[in-house]
Amino acid sequence: MSEYTLDCLGEICPVPLIKTQKKLAALNKNDILIISIDHSCAMKNIPEWARKEGHNVEIEEINDGEWEIYIEK
């Protein structure tokens, strides 16, 4: 199991979701992807998509309006 990060700060939908999908596709089972976002639309869309794909998802608010989304492949 390895951890990878993806910085999507300052990017608006659908860019963070597309980058997340591409990065997660390249990871191995049980790897964790940590996505940094500051766009509320992405905060909804990324976890929703990941859960539909069967991944474990956790969200942590880092600052007011900034989140980290943890996705376990």
Catalytic residue among 4, 5, 8, 13: 13
Structure tokens, 73? 């492949």
Distance CA 45, CA 16 (A): 9
Distance CA 68, CA 56 (A): 14
Span 12-70, pLDDT tens digits: 999 999 999 999 999 999 999 999 999 999 999 999 999 999 999 999 999 999 999 99
Q: Is 13 a catalytic residue?
A: yes
pTM: 0.95
Q: What fold is seen in the domain 3-68?
A: Translation Initiation Factor IF3 (3.30.110)
Angle, vertex CA 34, rays to CA 29 and CA 20, nearest 5? 75
